[in-house]
Structure 1
Amino acid sequence: MENLSFKDFNLSNEVQKAIIDMGFEEATPIQSQSISYILDGNDLIGQAQTGTGKTCAFGIPAVEMINPEMEAIQVLVLCPTRELAIQSSEEVKNLLKYKEGVRILPVYGGQPIDRQIMALKKRPQIIIGTPGRIMDHLRRKTLKLENLKMIVLDEADEMLNMGFREDIDTILEKVPEARQTILFSATMSREILDITKKYQTSPIHIKIAHKELTVPRIEQYYLEVKETAKLEVLSRLIDTNDIKLALIFCNTKRKVDELKASLQSRGYSAEALHGDMRQEQRDKVMNMFRKGNIDILIATDVAARGIDVDDVEAVFNYDLPNDDEYYVHRIGRTGRAGRAGKAFTFISGREIYKLRDIQRYTKSNIKFIKPPSINDVEEKKMSNILKSLKEKLEDEPISQFVGQIEKFAEDINSEASEPGSSGDGFVTSIDIAAALLKLYIDQTGMQTNKVSEIDDASEFTSEGDMVRFFINIGSENKIQPKHIIESLVASSGVPGKLVGSIDIHDRYSFVEVPKEFAPEVLKSMKNYIIKGKRINIEKSNARKKSLHSFSPNRNGHSSKRKQGFSNNNKHFKKD
């Protein structure tokens, strides 16, 4: 089935306008196959991987079915992690841009519950949250679901892996029977099928095949770049890498046009390609790019489908693509016909998690690099000038200029030797060459302005950069890895799949979390209650692993590894 245009769905003008602003030119496969069924009120099982556009697949119908005049919760979306809840909330909020009177609220652990209670009093119609915090509000009766029309379980398999089955059952049993139930999951385990059988009515089952995509053998890099600094970083990368033919991808047609104007104002030979251009214009731009008459082509994903140019030296993801497959299609435009190629991806903030999903999906290594410094740019430009000078020396007659330089030096030195002269001394031909080089640099505007926010850009913590914590609870308290993971997710919002090794002893345990989450974990887990016991948590310097060290694998399950021996450890059976 071909991907549909959003114009093919019977959507309101407000939502259509919001989709255009978001830069989506066509629906992804899961959206193409799901939206109409959900709009018609069917229960649905959507089987698709992360990064395939599931949020809009349920978000668009959810926004369309909301009654703005009813100030009650009409849609509830359950997500496994705080990170996904925030991300989904932001995307649905974009869909609501032109919808009057519709409010949305993300609800998750790690945020003061009193603040959420105050926000709930403003009567949002859409709630997106984690099961643990939703349960908290249900117990406090601050969340009322008697008017609920739709409930969505997003990444249901991940929620089950993290131990949320009981919470899911409790929540689903508290919502009205006459509601629409939408479930998305990458896998269809027995437990997932159990939920669908118990809580859905004649669901439509849509399965999007997970394609095995071959990523070209090109050098792949990512940079942490603020939105306001992207143009400067892009310019520096082009200059320091001597890129002659480049393809730049943006997610919206508006961004394509803005970037074209900005690059042209900086003196680059750049043109745009997107769906709003007439076919005649698009053909003209493509011919110019193929012939090398322009150096940089800026395009949207849909417009770039016809691009087949072997000499593209680098691809830039100015915006992170909305779909994992788009990443592969984009970078596949370089490194063709046995040539070398490079791909640079700009990310900021939470996009690091989306990039990690892309990396897992494509099974490729995307290396972190810092933006080139101002010195890197100047050194590269100087190197190019000296290279050009060398070519002049080798290929062109310069004898006629040698005499002029000698005479010029002789005149200056003669003036300097006269009585009363203020000259500082004799000059050589090297002094004159240096002065000419400086004059050339000044006249050609080689110097660029330093942008401190680029040079000082902070690195993202790599997955291997972990902080180890001690918790005063262990196997004697009947603690299992899933209990620790659930507590971390509910209290601090750290994604379960990012939790590192878990070592459980008789009376205490160790757990590793990414460094970037360490402060929040330390703050939110203080005096947290696990299995009825109030815990103490502190940073640990211990490096020794116990016999039973658990590390969540990619699917969120706990795997047992032997890493030494301790007589004090009990044996655990896997869940």
Structure 2
Amino acid sequence: MNFNDFNIQDDIKKGIDDMGFTNPTPIQRMAIPDALRGIDIIAQAQTGSGKTLAFAVPVLEKIFVPDRSPQAIILCPTRELCMQVADEIAKAGSRIKKLKVLAVYGGQPIGKQTRVLKKGVHIVVGTPGRVIDHIERGNLDLIGIESVVLDEADEMLEMGFREDIERILSDTPSQRQTLLFSATIPKEIRDIAGKYQKDPKFIKVSNRKQNIPKITQYAFKCDIKDKFESLTRLIDAYNVKLVLIFCNTKKSVDFVKKHLKKQDFKADALHGDMTQQARDKVMNKFRNGNIDILVATDVAARGLDIDGVDVIINYDVPQNSDDYIHRIGRTARAGKTGFAFTLVSKDEMSRFDNIRKSNRNIAYKDIPTLREINEIKSNLILNEVKSSRDSLDEYIEIIKKNENKEFGSTELAAGLLKKMREN
């Protein structure tokens, strides 16, 4: 099955093709046909499963462009996710002439958002608090809303947005379509579904079957006093390019960032006490490659969708299995592979055992020794040399001229490798 098999307008198919997508993911295959028929949906799907396009396609299909009033509203837990979702919807709808998509969130001057809303917008993507703000100021009228999407609904509820969500749903027309996407389905989600959806269809994409096999998961037992050294050894041994490290507290985040920087790692931190401006600055550095290690708490990392993260490291064991799944889902995006490492101290063992009961793909492994790290680093250089297609004739001649009984070609190669490792 590919996107051309869906009963959608050609402009949307072209937009998706421009994005480089051909075959829909499981959540897209399961959700899009029912959503196109106007059915309300509860979809249980993990971050990274392709859920944004799963609701973007049916939302875009219903938009009547000549009407420049809001026809769809998507609620997200964080500013970062709002920006990502709005961007993906705009890309999917890029071939639809005069389509307007706007992200509204706190931390940005409200005047700029107000001016765009007044000019006319078809799709609004927003955090619940800022959406309420615009409604109260008279900037946003929900009378023409045909589609409401709750994205990462469980996270919005955890962040205390239930009252705002219910108010927004109450202000939209009763005949609207409501699509709810969530990694977990706690009682609060079921309560909202029962109150605001019409005979919804429940769809579940098994996270273990669809996503986790792409993630190689290791756990490393270590003494709490050796945790930081264990962390740096893992970073060195696996030669990772982009790392997201999770800690349970702000204090732990600050400790790890501070000591990584002392060892000349390009690292920065993200936690709830930072201003939105400071958060944006750090995220831009991480996305642009100016830093390659980001240390964060669970709350600060909610909604982050960053391509190219090679490794997730749990410096602290997460509180439960759902948090573990949320964390490791930040790697192996869009069909790629990734690593998830968890450092487990003695006092975290019982908590980790509970997580492992529902995540059988986690294997225990020893922290690499300094000798093993040196061997890994040397092999990386040698593998790079072996894969080179450049002509070596000139350099072979130089080696031949310089080798003798005391210092042969093997010794020369070893000396050159040593020089490269030391530089």
Aligned counterparts of 1:108 and 1:385: Cα–Cα separation in 2: 60
Q: Alpha-carbon deviations, 1:56-97, whole Å to 9, x = none?
A: 000011111100111111000000000000000000000111
Structure 2 counterpart of 1:5, one-letter code: N
- Specify which of 186, 190, 193 is matched with residue 193 of structure 1: 190
Return the structure number with greater helix share.
2
Distance 1:200 1:209, change over 3 A: same
- Specify which of 240, 244, 260 is matched with residue 221 of structure 1: 240
Aligned counterparts of 2:288 and 2:166: Cα–Cα separation in 1: 45
Q: CA deviation at 1:363?
A: 7.6
- Specify which of 94, 100, 103 is matched with residue 103 of structure 1: 100
Aligned counterparts of 1:35 and 1:219: Cα–Cα separation in 2: 39
Q: Alpha-carbon deviations, 1:450-502, whole Å to 9, x = none?
A: xxxxxxxxxxxxxxxxxxxxxxxxxxxxxxxxxxxxxxxxxxxxxxxxxxxxx
Runs of 4+ in 1 over 6 A off after TM superposition: 224-229, 362-365, 384-387
Structure 2 residue 26 is the aligned partner of structure 1 residue 29: yes
TM-score (norm 2): 0.55
Structure 1 segment 172-187 matched on structure 2, within 5 A: 172-187=169-184
- Specify which of 75, 83, 90 is matched with residue 93 of structure 1: 90
Q: CA deviation at 1:219?
A: 3.0
Structure 2 residue 148 is the aligned partner of structure 1 residue 129: no
Aligned counterparts of 1:389 and 1:168: Cα–Cα separation in 2: 73
- Specify which of 63, 67, 78 is matched with residue 64 of structure 2: 67
Distance 1:189 1:99, change over 3 A: same
Distance 1:101 1:390, change over 3 A: closer
- Specify which of 118, 136, 139 is matched with residue 115 of structure 2: 118
CA RMSD of aligned residues (A): 3.9
SS in 2 for 1:36: helix
Distance 1:182 1:226, change over 3 A: closer
Query: 1:567 matched to which residue of 2?
Result: none
Aligned counterparts of 1:192 and 1:228: Cα–Cα separation in 2: 36
| Bigger Rg, which one | 1
Query: 2:336 matched to which residue of 1?
Result: 327
Query: 2:252 matched to which residue of 1?
Result: none
Q: CA deviation at 1:116?
A: 0.9
Q: Alpha-carbon deviations, 1:500-527, whole Å to 9, x = none?
A: xxxxxxxxxxxxxxxxxxxxxxxxxxxx
Structure 2 counterpart of 1:138, one-letter code: I
Q: Does the aligned pair in 2 maintain the 1:18–1:97 contact within 8 Å?
A: yes
Q: CA deviation at 1:139?
A: 1.1
Q: CA deviation at 1:55?
A: 0.6
TM-score (norm 1): 0.41
Q: CA deviation at 1:222?
A: 2.0
SS in 2 for 1:97: coil
Structure 2 residue 42 is the aligned partner of structure 1 residue 45: yes
Whose RCO is larger (CA < 8 A, sep 6+)?
2
5+ unaligned residues in a row in structure 1: which ranges?
A: 230-250, 252-319, 332-359, 366-375, 399-575
Structure 2 residue 147 is the aligned partner of structure 1 residue 147: no
Q: Does the aligned pair in 2 maintain the 1:53–1:322 contact within 8 Å?
A: no
Q: Percent identity, aligned pairs only?
A: 41
Q: How many residues align?
A: 263
Structure 2 counterpart of 1:62, one-letter code: V
Aligned counterparts of 1:172 and 1:226: Cα–Cα separation in 2: 35
Structure 1 segment 424-443 matched on structure 2, within 5 A: none
Aligned counterparts of 1:115 and 1:141: Cα–Cα separation in 2: 15
Structure 1 segment 388-467 matched on structure 2, within 5 A: 388=396, 392=400
Structure 2 residue 34 is the aligned partner of structure 1 residue 15: no
Q: CA deviation at 1:228?
A: 11
Aligned counterparts of 1:228 and 1:38: Cα–Cα separation in 2: 36
5+ unaligned residues in a row in structure 2: which ranges?
A: 219-236, 244-284, 290-306, 308-330, 340-358, 366-380, 405-423
Aligned counterparts of 1:73 and 1:140: Cα–Cα separation in 2: 16
Query: 1:444 matched to which residue of 2?
Result: none
